[in-house]
């Protein structure tokens, strides 16, 4: 049950910002504009925001590429913004991959089309190599 508490204070602020942006922007606005508005809202709520945060992909300790998370909040929680009817299994798997490859343990998926739908993905460092 400790997983439910992992970075919950940051998660609650992220979700609050998500609801505020959804309330104030039209539903079908460009995802780029949506991300910019979300970054502004995060900063207004005193969250430390890094946009387009890179997660390195390594093979035998050699960097072969990188994946990006839309945001890294307070150096603890990754945020992925999607525009889907409902959060897909593939999106959940992509979030798990970001966590598996990086040092972070929590990723919040925010679905801007999904009627305020969000999902919290946890992959603790205990399970990583």
Instruction: Spell 23-34 as b/e; 16+ CB within 10 A means b.
Output: eeeeeeeeeeeb
Distance, in Å, from the CA atom of 77 to the CA atom of 121, rounded to the nearest integer, reads: 10
- Domains of the chain and CATH, by start: 2-127 (3.40.1350)
Q: Which helix (H) or strand (E) holds 15?
A: helix 8-24
pLDDT of 4 > 80? The answer is no
How many CB atoms sit inside 10 A of residue 100's CB?
Answer: 13
Answer whether residue 129 shows pLDDT above 50. yes
Interval 62-90 mean pLDDT: 95
């Amino acid at each position: 049950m400790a997983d439910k508490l992992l970075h919950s204070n940051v998660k609650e602020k992220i979700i609050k910002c998500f609801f505020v942006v959804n309330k104030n922007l039209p539903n079908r606005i460009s995802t780029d504009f949506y991300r910019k508005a979300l970054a502004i809202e995060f900063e207004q709520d005193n969250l430390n925001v890094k946009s387009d945060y890179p997660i390195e992909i390594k093979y035998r300790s050699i960097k072969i590429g990188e994946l990006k998370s839309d945001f890294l909040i307070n150096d603890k929680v990754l945020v992925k913004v999607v525009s889907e009817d409902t959060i897909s299994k593939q999106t959940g798997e992509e979030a798990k991959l970001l966590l598996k490859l990086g040092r972070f343990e929590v990723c919040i998926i925010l679905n801007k089309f999904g009627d305020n739908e969000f999902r919290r993905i946890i992959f603790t460092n205990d399970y990583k190599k």
